[in-house]
């Protein structure tokens, strides 16, 4: 006899017997299975096991990260919705709010780059529009192996496929891809990172959450019919990639951006119609996670008749229907008696909606097949009692040793006597070089709000009907985090905020995507916990709370873990369109001012890697007080109209920052700069000391600008003048001078990626052919 | 005056077109739903960009079968101005309202960036407010924008002055390097024989405000406005 409140559940004919092996195959540990037995009070059925497996996967259950995530700051007066919903939401004034979230699709993209990346964009867009927000921009953060390394052909195949997947999806739905970042490093070979961030705009009163409330309200499945694609995608994403991962390619879902566009329009109409109480994407772990999470938030139960779910193939079992990750589906909780109104709205967009169950007051998650109960699980423990772990963390001694490396151990290459050679090499490094090859494949201007697209420090999208604009950036330097997880985590936040300030925005809030290796390894858990601590400290100091995000662990392949890469997506507000600032120098004769102090640091720099093949030293030092002072003073100066251009000094240091401001825009300009610091040539030009920004101002504003910086305690020095179009980039130091025609540097900077990608179409073709042959 | 912007399932520049028309033109701008059978008295019709029906068969191939296209055909036959931008141009070609076809870009990649186009003819109803030879900076954003047609068709387009826009350098030179997608004779926009149906790949509606980088698209809307005003006077 079942216990009180429990329904009679009988094993379904044809389902496998639940054995220890089957439990293990579902990625559940002995401890976790014991917990399941305790919750259920009996052996679960195959269907129930599948449900637990999905909900308690790392992807849905955050079992190894939850205790760490709880330490992050999440509140501020402008935060309307923090973590726990489909997306975070912040107040931007004028009755408007901005919803935003980042999510990874790393594992799928490693085996099927095009669909993996495309569906990543689809999922994150749904997370935003289910909050009632119209998506206004997407950004992405990508990591690949070396384009011309030993595995170059495969890397180029993955890179080209991911970029095309992101482009084709976002372009078709009609959301501009306005910014992002791409880095190339052998550490990501075989395990690329694909993080997509979406930003949406809504009226404050239209904010809707994904809760299943109101006993008796119908639950409706909307959008694409459910198929067998993507079953156990969430579990797949919660394991290491192995040589056999390719066989899991069928677990990768297939995207249909056209249906997404219809869903987007229909969902926004539905939300405004008042006919529904909640809506959620059927994303990772499909129907299971959407329905259980909505019930948990509503403090209710659900009762679903699985045979009512529209399917596209016959003979699907409850297990398959529940766990399918078919894309472009939504779960809607309608108001009682409004099913027809909901269908009318969807029908206008040629979409179907079927009532598949009802909200109950039992608190139980019940699934029936033709009336027979195939799953009956207490809902709250299913969602909230996933065991969480605080693992043992211990730094890998090799990394401790790497950190002890100092620049004095470095023997300069003879070519470096001419620093122009070094600058050329760095501008040709794909991680530094222009990403135009990438973003020209993205529609950046659709919706006609993009004021600053890709290629500057942050993207800027105006808010129609106001004088305001939103700025957004994504940032993470995995190498810094690898060498020093705490500092690296903090730097990712600081740099993201700095990028926003350089564009004229006040940083408001963060969405983070923690991409790490296997947390069961103490050295990986150490990276994770320390990086989160660093992120937390920087977010508190810079007043940018975390409103949500995503955790992607087990980013490993047989050759090892990726660099720990906590991608920080940040959104800021520009109060007035007049404040919008870009990285490019504007006029001949403008004064160039360096804000912040140079240092002798070289640890973790792109210079060390690109010129010396070295990943060593400590991450650059970050003083959060200095950072905060710099950002505050710079923003004030921008608002006062004193700043013509502003560009963060990041990878490649001061020389690359100066060159980028000169050549990064349409027309290459000259620069005449002179640095008199008594520092080694390589550190002065290419070191990556933090909290530095290259700004330019009209000559008449120079004194005021310097005066203001001095008053704010921010180091500031005039280091040169902007030259004319087609001039030379010249940077003099005590030990040597960089000097080259701007046009020549521009050719290197813009040509680095096309040269590697388009120079070898045969190689990519061969790769594609071999991919096809292998199937 | 009243202009209509048709929304097909998958249109994604309908709102941009609507806002641009609203901003530049005096009078009313309305959305028209593809399933309608009535143009609701509009004086001009826009077929906006996007991916109608996902462009899954061939860009524009299914949208040209939408109910409202019957009305658009009749409207055009009666001399009403019709403007197809990007996907709208593809739909007009598929519908046989403009000659030729748009195939995948020479690079086989989607291309999104500002380009320069030269105004080849200055005349009503679409380009009267531009001087002939004026160079415009307007964005393109398409995967299938390579215009092709038979040589005799191309010769006829040239001879009849029906090529309105050509891709060019910032200085107005029509060169191979300035051709972003491989279009025959650098063609970026054409009109039908009667001159009242325009198809173009670049997006003038994305270039009506200096804030967004260019206002060079605005005179196209102004030309249309001037034309409609003059028609009303004759009415």
Q: Helices A742-758 and A419-427 sit at what angle, rounded to 10 degrees?
A: 40
Contacts with A685 (C-beta within 8 Å, 6 or more apart), sequence order: A419, A422, A423, A653, A654, A655, A675, A731, A733, A738
pLDDT at A5: 63
Q: Within a 10 A sphere around the Cβ of B170, how many other Cβ atoms?
A: 12
Q: Tell me the nearest-neighbour CA distance from A446 into chain B, angstroms.
A: 7
Q: How many CA atoms lie within 13 A of B75 on its CB side?
A: 22
Smallest CA–CA distance from A264 into chain B, residue: B10
Q: Within a 10 A sphere around the Cβ of A599, how many other Cβ atoms?
A: 17
Q: Tell me the nearest-neighbour CA distance from A611 into chain B, angstroms.
A: 33
Instruction: Select from A172, A445, A464 the Cβ nearest to the Cβ of B54.
Output: A172
Q: Which residues in chain A have Cβ-Cβ distances shorter than 8 Å to B13?
A: 174, 446
Does the pLDDT of residue A200 top 80, yes or no?
yes
With b meaning 16 or more CB within 10 Å and e meaning fewer, what string describes B40-77? eebbbbbbbbbbbbbbeeebbbbbbebebbebbbebbe
Please report, in angstroms and rounded to a whole number, the separation of the first and last CA atoms in chain B.
12
Cβ of A443 within 8 Å of Cβ of B112? The answer is yes
- Which long-range contacts does B37-42 make (Cβ < 8 Å, 24+ apart)? B37/B67, B37/B68, B37/B70, B37/B71, B38/B71, B39/B4, B39/B68, B39/B71, B39/B72, B39/B75, B40/B2, B40/B4, B41/B2, B42/B2, B42/B3, B42/B4
**B108 touches A: beta carbon within 8 Å:** no
Of A507, A500, A435, give the one whose Cα is nearest residue A646: A500
Per-residue tokens: A538: 């920087």
Q: Which of B94, B129, B144, B205 is catalytic?
A: B205
Per-residue tokens: A51: 């449900």
Q: Tell me the nearest-neighbour CA distance from B39 into chain A, angstroms.
A: 18
Q: Which of B13, B17, B34, B86 is catalytic?
A: B86
**A174 touches B: beta carbon within 8 Å:** yes
Q: Which residues in chain B have Cβ-Cβ distances shorter than 8 Å to A441?
A: 109-112
**A144 touches B: beta carbon within 8 Å:** no
Does the pLDDT of residue A767 top 60, yes or no?
no
**B211 touches A: beta carbon within 8 Å:** yes
Cβ of B212 within 8 Å of Cβ of A451? The answer is yes
**A624 touches B: beta carbon within 8 Å:** no
Of A687, A602, A603, A601, give the one whose Cα is nearest residue A652: A687
Task: Read off the pLDDT band of A11 (50, 70, 90).
Answer: confident
Of A476, A499, A452, give the one whose Cα is nearest residue A176: A452
Cα dihedral across residues A60, A61, A62, A66: positive or negative:
positive
Q: What is the DSSP letter of A226?
A: B
Cβ of B212 within 8 Å of Cβ of A448? The answer is yes
Average pLDDT score over residue span A612-619: 97
Cβ of A445 within 8 Å of Cβ of B109? The answer is no
Cβ of B110 within 8 Å of Cβ of A171? The answer is yes
Q: Which of A26, A105, A232, A275 is catalytic?
A: A105
Write out residues 23-82 of B within 8 Å (CB-CB) of A.
49-51, 53-56
pLDDT in tens, A39-90: 999 999 999 999 999 999 887 888 899 999 999 999 999 999 999 888 999 9
Does the pLDDT of residue B212 top 70, yes or no?
yes
Are A383 and A292 in contact by the 8 Å Cβ rule? The answer is yes
Q: Which of B34, B116, B203, B227 is catalytic?
A: B203
Q: Which of B5, B8, B12 to mutate to test the interface with A (most CBs of A within 10 A)?
A: B12
Are A5 and A364 in contact by the 8 Å Cβ rule? The answer is yes
Cβ of A462 within 8 Å of Cβ of B53? The answer is no
Does the pLDDT of residue A763 top 60, yes or no?
no
Cβ of B12 within 8 Å of Cβ of A174? The answer is yes
Cβ of B12 within 8 Å of Cβ of A439? The answer is no
A408 compared with B20, residue with greater pLDDT: B20
Cβ of B12 within 8 Å of Cβ of A164? The answer is no
Between vectors from CA A355 to CA A354 and to CA A360, what angle results, nearest 5°? 160
Q: Which residues in chain B have Cβ-Cβ distances shorter than 8 Å to A454?
A: none
pLDDT at A768: 45
Residues A352 and A120: their CA atoms lie apart, in Å, by: 23
Average pLDDT score over residue span B122-129: 97
Q: Tell me the nearest-neighbour CA distance from B50 into chain A, angstroms.
A: 7
**B124 touches A: beta carbon within 8 Å:** no
Q: Helices A152-173 and A113-129 sit at what angle, rounded to 10 degrees?
A: 30
Q: What is the DSSP letter of A691?
A: S
Between vectors from CA A127 to CA A126 and to CA A128, what angle results, nearest 5°? 90
Residues A243 and A557: their CA atoms lie apart, in Å, by: 8
Q: How many CA atoms lie within 13 A of A643 on its CB side?
A: 31
Of A620, A625, A595, give the one whose Cα is nearest residue A714: A595
What is the Cα A326 distance to its own chain's centre? Answer: 22
pLDDT at B160: 98
CA dihedral A677, A679, A683, A685 (to 10 degrees): 30
- Interface predicted TM-score (ipTM) over 0.90: yes
Task: Read off the pLDDT band of A247 (50, 70, 90).
Answer: low
**A328 touches B: beta carbon within 8 Å:** no
Residues A226 and B115: their CA atoms lie apart, in Å, by: 43
Q: Tell me the nearest-neighbour CA distance from A174 into chain B, angstroms.
A: 5
Per-residue tokens: A378: 């207490």
Q: Is B205 a catalytic residue?
A: yes
Residue A454, sorted as left (phi over 0), alpha (psi -120 to 50) or beta, turns out to be: beta
Of A480, A457, A475, give the one whose Cα is nearest residue A567: A475
Smallest CA–CA distance from A177 into chain B, residue: B112
Instruction: Select from A259, A442, A451 the Cβ nearest to the Cβ of B112.
Output: A442
Per-residue tokens: A270: 């539905």
Q: What is the largest CA-CA distance in chain B?
A: 48
- Which long-range contacts does A308-312 make (Cβ < 8 Å, 24+ apart)? A308/A221, A308/A354, A308/A355, A308/A356, A308/A357, A309/A221, A309/A226, A309/A354, A309/A356, A310/A221, A310/A225, A310/A226, A310/A352, A310/A354, A311/A225, A311/A226, A311/A227, A312/A224, A312/A225, A312/A226, A312/A227
Percent of chain B past pLDDT 90, that is, above it, reads 96
Between vectors from CA A145 to CA A139 and to CA A148, what angle results, nearest 5°? 115
Domains of chain B, first to last = 2-233 (3.40.50.880)
Task: Please list the residues that pair with A728 across neighbouring strands.
Answer: A741
Does the pLDDT of residue A583 top 90, yes or no?
yes
Instruction: Select from A167, A445, A447 the Cβ nearest to the Cβ of B110.
Output: A167
Cβ of A442 within 8 Å of Cβ of B110? The answer is yes
Task: Read off the pLDDT band of A764 (50, 70, 90).
Answer: very low
Cβ of A257 within 8 Å of Cβ of B141? The answer is no
- The helix (run of H) or strand (run of E) holding residue B15 is helix B14-24
Cβ of B9 within 8 Å of Cβ of A261? The answer is yes
pLDDT in tens, A448-462: 999 999 999 999 999
Cβ of B113 within 8 Å of Cβ of A462? The answer is no
Q: Is B168 a catalytic residue?
A: no
Average pLDDT score over residue span A24-36: 93
**A759 touches B: beta carbon within 8 Å:** no
pLDDT at A775: 33
Q: How many CA atoms lie within 13 A of A267 on its CB side?
A: 35
Cβ of A256 within 8 Å of Cβ of B54? The answer is yes
Cβ of B206 within 8 Å of Cβ of A349? The answer is no
**B21 touches A: beta carbon within 8 Å:** no
Task: Read off the pLDDT band of A772 (50, 70, 90).
Answer: very low
For chains A and B, CB pairs below 8 A equal 83
Rg of chain B on CA atoms, in Å:
16
pLDDT in tens, A98-157: 999 999 999 999 999 999 999 999 999 999 999 999 999 999 999 999 999 889 999 999
Residues A324 and A118: their CA atoms lie apart, in Å, by: 17
Instruction: Select from B12, B13, B205 the Cβ nearest to the Cβ of A173.
Output: B12
């Amino acid at each position: 006899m079942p216990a009180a409140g429990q329904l009679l559940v009988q094993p379904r004919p044809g389902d496998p017997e639940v054995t220890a092996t089957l439990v293990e195959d579902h990625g559940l540990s002995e401890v976790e299975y014991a917990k399941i037995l305790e919750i259920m009070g009996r052996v679960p059925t195959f269907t129930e096991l599948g449900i637990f497996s999905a909900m308690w996967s790392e992807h849905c259950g955050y079992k190894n990260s939850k205790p760490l995530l709880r330490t992050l700051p999440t509140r501020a007066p402008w935060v309307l919705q923090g973590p726990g919903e489909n997306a975070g939401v912040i107040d931007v004034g004028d009755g408007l709010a901005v919803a935003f979230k980042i999510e990874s699709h790393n594992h799928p993209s490693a085996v099927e780059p095009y669909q993996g990346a495309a569906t990543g964009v689809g999922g994150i867009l749904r997370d935003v529009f289910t909050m009632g927000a119209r998506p206004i921009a997407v950004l992405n953060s990508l990591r690949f192996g070396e384009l011309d390394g030993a595995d170059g052909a495969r890397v180029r195949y993955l890179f080209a496929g991911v970029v095309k997947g992101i482009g084709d999806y976002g372009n078709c739905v009609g959301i501009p891809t306005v910014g992002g970042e791409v880095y190339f490093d052998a550490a990501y070979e075989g395990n690329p990172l694909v993080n997509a961030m979406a930003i949406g705009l809504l009226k404050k009163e239209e904010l809707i959450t994904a809760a299943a409330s109101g006993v008796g309200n119908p639950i409706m499945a909307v959008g694409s019919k459910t198929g067998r694609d993507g079953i156990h995608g969430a579990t797949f994403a919660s394991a290491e990639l192995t040589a056999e991962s390719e066989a899991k390619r069928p677990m990768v879902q297939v995207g249909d951006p056209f249906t997404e566009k219809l869903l987007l329009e229909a969902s926004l109409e539905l939300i405004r119609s008042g006919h529904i109480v909640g809506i959620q994407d059927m994303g990772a772990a499909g129907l299971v996670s959407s329905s259980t999470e909505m019930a948990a938030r509503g403090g209710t139960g659900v009762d679903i008749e699985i045979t009512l779910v529209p399917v596209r193939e016959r003979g699907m079992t409850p297990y398959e229907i529940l766990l399918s990750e078919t894309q472009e589906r939504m779960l809607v909780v309608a108001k009682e008696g409004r099913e027809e109104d909901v269908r009318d709205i969807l029908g206008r967009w040629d979409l179907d909606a079927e009532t598949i169950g009802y909200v109950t007051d039992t608190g139980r998650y019940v699934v029936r097949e033709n009336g027979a109960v195939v799953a009956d699980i207490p809902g709250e423990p299913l969602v909230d009692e996933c065991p969480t772990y605080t693992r043992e963390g211990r730094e890998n001694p090799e990394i401790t040793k790497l950190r002890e490396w100092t620049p004095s151990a470095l023997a300069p290459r003879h070519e470096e006597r001419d620093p122009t050679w070094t600058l050329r090499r760095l501008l040709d490094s794909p991680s530094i070089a222009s990403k135009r090859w990438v973003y020209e494949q993205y529609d950046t201007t659709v919706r006609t709000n993009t004021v600053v697209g890709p290629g500057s420090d942050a993207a800027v999208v105006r808010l129609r009907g106001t004088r305001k604009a939103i700025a957004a950036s994504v940032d993470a330097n995995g190498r810094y985090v690898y060498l020093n997880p705490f500092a690296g985590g903090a730097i990712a936040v600081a740099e993201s905020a700095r990028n926003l300030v350089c564009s004229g925005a006040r940083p408001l809030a963060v969405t983070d995507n923690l991409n790490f290796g296997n947390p069961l390894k103490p050295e990986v858990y150490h990276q994770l916990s320390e990086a989160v601590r660093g992120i937390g400290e920087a977010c508190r100091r810079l007043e940018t709370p975390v409103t949500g995000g995503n955790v992607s662990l087990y980013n490993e392949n047989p050759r090892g873990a990726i660099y720990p890469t906590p991608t920080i997506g940040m959104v800021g507000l520009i109060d007035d369109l007049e404040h919008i600032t870009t990285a490019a120098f504007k006029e001949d004769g403008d004064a160039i001012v360096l804000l912040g102090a140079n240092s002798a640091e070289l640890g973790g720099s792109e210079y060390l890697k690109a010129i010396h093949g070295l990943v060593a030293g400590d991450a650059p030092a970050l003083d959060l007080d200095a950072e905060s002072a710099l950002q505050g003073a710079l923003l004030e100066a921008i608002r006062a109209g004193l700043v013509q251009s502003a560009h963060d000094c990041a990878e490649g240091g001061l020389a690359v920052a100066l060159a980028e401001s000169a050549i990064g825009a349409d027309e290459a300009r000259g620069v005449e700069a002179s640095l008199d610091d008594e520092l080694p040539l390589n550190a002065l030009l290419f070191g990556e000391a933090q909290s530095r920004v290259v700004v330019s101002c009209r000559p008449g504003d120079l004194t005021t600008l310097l005066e203001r910086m001095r008053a704010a305690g921010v180091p500031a020095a005039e280091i040169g003048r902007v030259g004319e179009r087609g001039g030379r980039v010249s940077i003099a130091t005590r030990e040597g001078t960089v000097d080259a025609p701007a046009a020549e540097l521009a050719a290197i900077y813009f040509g680095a990626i096309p040269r590697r990608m388009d120079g070898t179409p045969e190689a990519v073709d061969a790769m594609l052919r071999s991919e096809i042959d292998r199937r | 005056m009243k202009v209509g912007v048709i929304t097909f399932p998958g249109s994604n520049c309908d709102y941009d077109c609507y806002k641009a028309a609203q901003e530049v033109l005096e009078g009313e701008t309305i959305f028209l739903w593809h399933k309608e059978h009535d143009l609701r008295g509009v004086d001009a019709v826009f077929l906006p960009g996007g991916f109608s029906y996902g462009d899954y068969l061939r860009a524009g191939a299914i949208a040209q079968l939408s109910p409202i296209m019957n009305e658009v055909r009749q409207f055009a036959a009666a001399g009403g101005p019709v403007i197809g931008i990007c996907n709208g141009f593809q739909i007009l070609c598929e519908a046989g309202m403009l000659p030729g076809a748009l195939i995948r870009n020479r690079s086989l990649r989607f291309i999104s960036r500002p380009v320069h186009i030269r105004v080849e003819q200055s005349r009503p109803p679409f380009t009267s407010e531009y001087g002939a030879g004026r160079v415009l900076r307007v964005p393109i954003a398409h995967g299938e924008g390579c215009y092709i047609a038979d040589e005799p068709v191309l010769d006829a387009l040239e001879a009849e002055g029906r090529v309105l826009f050509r891709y060019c350098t910032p200085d107005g030179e029509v060169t191979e390097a300035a051709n972003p997608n491989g279009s025959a004779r650098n063609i970026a926009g054409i009109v039908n024989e009667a001159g009242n149906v325009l198809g173009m790949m670049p997006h003038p509606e994305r270039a009506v405000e200096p804030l967004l980088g260019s206002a060079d698209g605005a005179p196209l809307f102004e030309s249309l406005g001037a034309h409609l005003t003059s028609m009303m006077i004759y009415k």
